[in-house]
A and B are shown apart, each in its own frame.
Chain A
Amino acid sequence: MKADVAPTEVIRQHLIDPEICIRCNTCEETCPVHAISHDGRNYVVDAAICEGCNACISPCPTGSIDNWRQVSLTKVYTLDEQFAWDVLPVQEDLGVDAAAEIPQEIARITADASAGQGGAAPPPWSAAHPYVNLHTQALPAIATVTGNYALTAEDASSDIRHIVLDFGATAFPVLEGQTIGIVPPGTDAQGRPHFVRLYSVASPREGERPRYNNVALTVKRVTADHAGQAVKGVASNYLCDLSKGDAVKIVGPFGTSFLMPNHPGSSLLMICTGTGSAPMRAMTERRRRRIAQKEGGELMLFFGARAPEELPYFGPLLKLPRDFIDINFAFSRVPGQPKHYVQDLIRRRGDDVARLLRDDQCYIYVCGLRGMEEGVAEAFRDLCREHAMDWDALLPELRSKGRYHLETY
């Protein structure tokens, strides 16, 4: 059952052997992030929470804790499956060699980013086959910076940049919605190498400059953490300060779920804030370049930022034909105007959004800061109620059809 998924992005899932475990609770007591829980039968590990820190491994008196299975990222063993086991399942043949396995850290970031969609979702049925993990931390690809442009005004309160990286003769095939990992040079305060940071590509599959081997990223210079405390983001500052000609270590690509449909007549409903616009820009750009093919399908975009000056790609977006894309901007910090958030606009456009939710040809993408998740979900819930649908019942259906994809950070 688990082997039939393709495309395959493989992670090492941490599992406990129910035949050897004596249910002593030591692991649950030890786990610093509370990834381990139990019922009357088994102790289980939540793959979406486990960070692979291995704190539980040596305290386990039995060795049952030290079990791992390679699984497709979209088919990790759920808690319910693990609760029902008498024995560990055998390792499925996933048709990949061990080297293609996604590093634990990447898997965790990815699982965390898509946690808000409430479960794994397959990609749209017509998505192109993604390549994943071609370049690892041990053997990263080296890209050269060919451009680094400010997307925000000089006097804007944030610095967002459009960075173009060229892979030269190194293969780095990447699809809209996929991410690549940046390895900042140097080490952290403890002398350890920096963690990989993931960025969604902002360019379509054939490259920012078509038929050249390049990708674009949308990077905001991080100067404060989620709580507003001053902090200098290691990777974002590194990227924003890059000059033309600099060499950058890249791993990846990653991502097998947040991908766009390719079949004619398919529609995209895109909701984003800030640099969450990167994958939307990639998908929109893919469609724009194919306008002449007249493949049909609608594009509807809800895009939130503090002010127009801080909205990446604001100018180019305004130039797109109205009959190509239906754009809805929400600005929350424009002097003299009431605050608008994407969820306000979704409510305002309730009839059209509801029509797209009902349309099996429409695929929905949400990307942006973690804080938007709840507001967007509430807006969907409200408009479903008004249109005789039940969001909580609809969401799993959308997900299982590969129609709902969320990434927040």
Chain B
Amino acid sequence: MTSIDYSEKIPNNVDLAGDRTLQRALEQWQPNFLNWWSDMGPDGSQNFDVYLRTAVSVEPGGWAHFDHVKMPDYRWGIFLAPAETDRRIHFGEHLGEPAWQDVPGEHRANLRRIIVTQGDTEPASVEQQRHLGLTCPSQYDLRNLFQVNVEEGRHLWAMVYLLHRYFGRDGREEAEELLQRRSGDTDNPRILGAFNEKTPDWLAFFMFTYFTDRDGKFQLCALAESGFDPLARTTKFMLTEEAHHMFVGESGVARILQRTCEIMKQQATDDPARIRAAGAIDLPTIQRYLNFHFSVTVDLFGADQSSNAAIFYNAGLKGRFEEGKRADDHRLRDAQYDILEAVDGRLAERAAPMQNALNEVLRDDYIKDSVSGIGRWNKVMEKAGIATRLTVPHKAFNRKIGTLASTRVSPDGRVVSEADWAEHEREWLATPEDRAFVASLMGRVVEPGRFANWIAPPSIGINKQPIDFQYVRFN
């Protein structure tokens, strides 16, 4: 079944009406979700009509239906990608066996943990971004922020459905807790570190959607390979929505760069102070933000050697990125993979069993994908005739997780002393002064077609609408 039944209280394509118990459980969770949205969702936005994209079916023609809706009325629901007939597990010990339609008892705890960890990031990012609407650089950007927010909310629904449907009482309790934890709360924080960081300004937001949502993409891609078919199908559909988030990040940073380049040319200078005085964000500041968000996100992939990663893979719970497209034995019993470590003050590669290094494999795939987008950002400077280029810091830079956590490494990959680090940290990572300056630029611009001084307009509008379209009606 692929059509979505919108006559139901909870839109879905999983025949929710056919399972009364589950339907009742989710209908009890729904008001709690809406309470959470009203408490922790975008600040002061409840009555806005926002030009949002809503899925009306999971077929390509149906999942991008655009209309003005009030966000609390957004039809959050449960959408799974169409089932493949006779799908089989294609990696790990169960390779070749039919994919599971139910949770195998022995993998119950691990699957629950995977789903809860993924699910926790979704409301966390909404919480992190809840004040950004007050400082939006344009209506267009405000609409994009809200689109990201409602889709993160829907991703929470996706994970909660799995918890309720397949994990009984434990699942229902976990689903409740997903609404209890709060990003940055010292007593009851979100599970992963990066999701307790602040997203204080729009440069941070764009960097977050570029880097951190891309981590989401890679995690979802790995889960879309899962032998647990409902998880594979739900993450597959989430991926189609995730692409929008990365678009917001990539184009957002590109537009900031474009504006900075314009100012640099107008002022004929590359002096950060003069660029700041002209109301734009200087390139070194953007580079320091990039270094921060990249390194924090790279940590999200976990320790470089992990027995959990090996267990998840062997059990068929979580594959590699594009597992199905790789030409190896998909069991990896004897495969090796190079991981980085610091030996005698230098970084060196050492071969480790690939099964244990699967976090590193996913991290490296992620880095490759991130780097190519930064290449496209550099095209903005190239086109403007500005010589400066953004660079991706070394993957050992500023790590807090894994074997490299105890080693200080510069962005260009040199192991440095604690003193060197202290001396240069302000050149490498965004400083409180940088953040204060960026925050000082953040003023609310909401007239249709107008943009804050520090960011260029996009080249095209959403859904082919003009740039000055009324993307948000404030009522």
Which residue numbers of A lie inside 8 Å of B, CB to CB?
A: 19-20, 22-26, 29-30, 32, 40-41, 54-56, 58-59, 61-63, 66, 86
Query: Do B372 and A23 touch across chains, with their CB atoms under 8 A apart?
Result: yes
Interface locus among B104-112, B243-251, B425-433 = B243-251
Interface status of B464 (Cβ within 8 A of chain A):
yes
**Does B7 sit within 8 A of A, measured CB to CB?**
no
Q: B464 touching A59 by the CB < 8 A rule? A: no
In-complex Cβ contact of B247 among A29, A30, A58, A61 (8 A): A61
Q: How far is the CA of A219 from the CA of B37 in the complex (A)?
A: 66
Report Cα–Cα, A29/B246, bound state, in Å: 16
Instruction: Name which of B59-67, B344-352, B447-455 contacts chain A.
Output: B59-67
Q: Indicate which residue in A23, A41, A58, A86 contacts B61 across the interface (CB closer than 8 Å).
A: A58
Given known A40-B372, A63-B464, contact A58–B459 (CB-CB < 8 A):
no
CB pair B64–A58 under 8 Å, yes or no, is yes
> Is A56 a contact partner of B60 (Cβ separation < 8 A)?
yes
C-alpha gap A56/B63 in the complex (Å): 11
Top 5 nearest A-B pairs by Cβ distance?
A: A24-B243, A58-B64, A61-B244, A55-B60, A61-B247
B379 interface neighbour in A26, A32, A63, A86, Cβ under 8 Å: A86
A40 CA / B251 CA spacing, docked (Å): 19
**Distance in Å from the Cβ of B278 to the closest Cβ of chain A?**
26
Who on chain B is nearest to A54 by CB?
B61
Q: List B contacts of A58 (CB < 8 A).
A: 60-61, 63-64
Please give, as numbers and ranges, the residues of chain A lying within 8 Å of B246 by CB-CB distance: 22, 24, 61
Docked Cα-Cα span, A40 to B368, in Å, equals 10
Partner of A20, one of B61, B63, B459: B459
Main secondary structure of the interface of B (DSSP, over half): helix
Q: Does B387 sit within 8 A of A, measured CB to CB?
A: no
B63, B251, B459, B462: the one within 8 Å of A22 (CB): B251
Knowing A22-B243, A22-B373, A23-B372, the reply to whether A62 touches B60 (Cβ < 8 A) is no
Q: Per-residue CB proximity of B166-179 to A under 8 Å, as 1/0?
A: 00000000000000
Bound: A313/B8 CA distance, A:
65
A348 → chain B closest CB, angstroms? 44
Q: Which residues of A contact B217 (CB under 8 A)?
A: 24
Complex Cα gap A198–B240 (Å): 38
Q: Give complex CA distance A32, B240 in Å.
A: 15
State in angstroms the CA–CA spacing of A132 and B246 once bound together: 44
> Could you say which residues of chain A place their CB within 8 Å of the CB of B372?
23, 40-41
- In the bound complex, residues from chain B placing their C-beta under 8 Å from that of A23 are 369, 372-373
Taking CB as reference atom, which chain B residue is nearest A40?
B372
In the complex, what residues of B have CB within 8 A of residue A54's CB? 61
Q: How far is the CB of B246 from chain A (nearest CB, A)?
A: 6
* A55 CA / B63 CA spacing, docked (Å): 11
Contact among B61, B243, B373, B461 with A61 in the assembled complex (CB-CB below 8 Å):
B243
Name B37-77 residues within 8 Å CB distance of A.
Answer: 60-61, 63-64
Nearest A residue (CB) for B322? A25
A32 partner residues in chain B, CB cutoff 8 A? 60
Q: Does B419 contact A (CB under 8 A)?
A: no
The answer, yes or no, to whether B460 is at the interface (CB within 8 Å) is yes
B207-248 vs A, CB cutoff 8 Å, 1 = contact: the mask equals: 000000000010000000000000000000001100110110
- B61–A62 CB distance below 8 A: no
- Choice from B61, B369, B379 contacting A55 with Cβ under 8 Å: B61
On whether the beta carbons of A24 and B60 are closer than 8 Å, the reply is no
Is there contact, CB below 8 Å, between A59 and B459? no
- Binary A-proximity of B356-376 (CB < 8 A = 1, otherwise 0): 000000000000010011000
**A residues near B243, Cβ cutoff 8 Å:** 22, 24-26, 59, 61
A63 to B248, CA, bound (A): 12
14 further contact pairs, Cβ within 8 A, besides A23-B372, A26-B243, A58-B61: A19-B379, A19-B459, A20-B459, A22-B246, A23-B373, A24-B246, A32-B60, A54-B61, A56-B60, A61-B243, A61-B247, A63-B461, A63-B464, A86-B379
- Report chain B residues within 8 Å CB of A66: 464
Q: Which residues of B contact A25 (CB under 8 A)?
A: 243
CA separation between A25 and B369, bound complex, in Å? 11
Distance of A61 Cα from B242 Cα, bound (Å)? 9
Are B63 and A24 in touch, CB under 8 angstroms?
no
What residues of chain A lie closer than 8 Å to B460, measured between beta carbons? Answer: 20, 63
A-B contact pairs, 28 of them (CB 8 A): A19-B379, A19-B459, A22-B251, A22-B373, A23-B373, A24-B217, A24-B246, A26-B239, A26-B243, A29-B240, A30-B60, A40-B372, A54-B61, A55-B60, A58-B60, A58-B61, A58-B64, A59-B63, A59-B243, A61-B243, A61-B246, A62-B247, A62-B251, A63-B460, A63-B461, A63-B463, A63-B464, A66-B464
Once bound together, how far apart are the Cα atoms of A54 and B60, in whole Å?
9
Given A66-B464, A86-B379, also A26-B240 (CB < 8 A): yes
Within the complex, the shortest CB–CB distance from A162 to chain B, in Å, comes to: 43
Tell me the minimal C-beta distance from B209 to chain A in angstroms: 11
Pick from B240, B461, B462: contact of A59, CB under 8 Å = B240
A62 to B464, CA, bound (A): 10
Question: A22 and B247: CB pair below 8 A?
Answer: yes
A21 CB → nearest B CB, Å: 9
Contacts of A41 in B (CB 8 A): 372
Give the Cβ gap from A119 to chain B, nearest Cβ, in Å: 28
B window 417-467: CB within 8 A of A? 459-464
Contacts of B462 in A (CB 8 A): 63
* A-contacting residues, B372-424, CB 8 Å: 372-373, 379
Most chain B CB within 10 A, of A24, A25, A40, A55, is at: A24
Cα distance, A22 to B369, chains bound together (Å): 10
* Complex alpha-carbon distance, A270 and B157, angstroms: 64
Distance (Å) between the CB of A54 and the closest chain B CB?
A: 8
In the complex the two chains form, what is the Cα distance from A30 to B459 in whole Å?
A: 24
Residues from chain B with a CB closer than 8 A to the CB of A61 are 243-244, 246-247
Nearest CB of chain A from residue B57's CB, rounded to whole Å: 11
**Closest beta carbon of chain A to B31's beta carbon, Å:** 31
